[in-house]
Structure 1
Amino acid sequence: MDNTDTPSSARQSLLDATEALIYAGGINATGMDAIVKASGVARKTIYRHFATKDALVAQALRERDARWMRWFSEETCRAEPGPARLLASFDALSSWFATPGFRGCAFINAAGETGDPADPIRIVAREHKASLRAFLLQLAIEAYIADADALAGAWLILIDGAISVALVTGDLQAARRAQAMARCLLPTFFAPTTKELP
């Protein structure tokens, strides 16, 4: 029996439980029985909302993308616009790495569990990275970076590298190390006449 009051609340409980379970233990290790138990939503109700487990997981990841990007943007944009804001992206990561529930990037983790590039879950992971890169590009443009597109690509690699190192090795300083590399790299993206650096 569902312990939720309306179809919309049942759906949200289902998505919240699915996201938490797959982030903590992985997609393949999370069975439908665990999702039913954690969400309190009956199996037949689940399949009224989502035709397959993959569809459920993909939607849970989309919701995580929206929430994570909102958080990352808000944390990063606490700094003044310009190079300082670009570097603040690593301060946001550093605070995230120190949280007890940190399990790396949910989207890298999910992509690693899917073999087919056309898999709906892999597509959501790719969309997340595109959203993150677009945000970084916006920051680079606001900072008057000459080659903003190249900087956004480099920043994405540094961010994902820091996340992966923090997860695999437990190095909570990975974001600080990536930030130091980014600081050294930053002048190479400015126009030759630009004098002002952080």
Structure 2
Amino acid sequence: MENDRSTLNHMNAPLIETREKILTTAEQLIYQNGIHATGMDLLVKTSGVARKSIYRYFATKDEVAAAALNARDVRWMTWFRTESDKAETADARILNMFAVLKGWFESEGFHGCAFINTAGEIGDPNDPIRLIAKLHKQKLFDYTLELCEQLTIEQPSALAKQLLILMEGAITMARVMGDFSAADSAKDVAQLLLKQASS
């Protein structure tokens, strides 16, 4: 039985690799160029995967985009939480979030937030792409709220919302204005909010 499972896994490996190659390429293209500029022709050319093979996994370009953004959401949130959680206390982790953002801003290939970018291209608030973007921001809020709830304060939800606005503002300033120090400015305001909430 174990040998059968091993054989099946080995047989499925090329299929998994092809699907991952499509998603990785789609994610990179969408992040660099946006959804509208990322057509099937470009995906085929860049990934090296035949159009027929892509349609074997995904019925439409929108399906490819949704799957790629879902994968990015999981990976980005895992990275962000792991890096932010390297600080020891909840308030230190909250402030560390802004240091983590600054490191991201300064990294090679930074093009802002993929979810803000793609949501800006889609007019319909009920479009699956917009809903993925909304879910991503909800996860970021939930993590921030989780940290705020570890503090001894009266309104953790209100503080979490303020912190999320600071983070989103810093991301936008970094992308639009090229001002990576926006993370530092946001961190300064976060310190004031923490002090105010604790008093």
Scaled by the length of structure 1, the TM-score of the pair is 0.91
Give, in angstroms, the shift of residue 189 of structure 1. Answer: 2.3
Question: How many Å separate the matches in 2 of 1:78 and 1:146?
Answer: 26
1:104 matched to 2:115: no
Structure 1 position 90, deviation (Å): 0.1
CA distance in structure 1 between the partners assigned to 2:149 and 2:73 by the alignment? 23
Unaligned runs of at least 5 residues, structure 2 = 1-12
- State the match for 1:69 in structure 2: 77
Q: Distance in 1 between matches of 2:150 and 2:109?
A: 33
Of 17, 20, 35, the residue aligned with 2:28 is 20
- 1:16-165 equivalences under 5 Å are 16-165=24-173
| Cα distance between partner residues in 2 of 1:130 and 1:86 | 16
Which residue of 2 is the match for residue 196 of structure 1? none
Aligned length: 187
Q: 1:51 corresponds to which letter in structure 2? A: A
Amino acid at match of 1:93: L
Q: Which runs of 5+ in 1 are unaligned?
A: 193-198
- For the 8 Å contact 2:159–2:193, the answer to whether it is kept is no
Residue 167 of structure 1 is matched in structure 2 by 175
Once the two structures are overlaid, the 10-residue window that deviates more, 33-42 or 68-77, is 33-42
Q: Structure 2: how far apart are the matches of 1:14 and 1:181?
A: 41
2:149 counterpart SS class: helix
Distance in 1 (CA, whole Å) between partners of 2:66 and 2:187 is 31
Q: 2:187 aligns with which of 179, 184, 188?
A: 179
Q: More helix by proportion, 1 or 2?
A: 2
1:29 counterpart letter in structure 2 = A
Q: Distance in 2 between matches of 1:144 and 1:35?
A: 50
Normalising by structure 2, we get a TM-score of 0.91
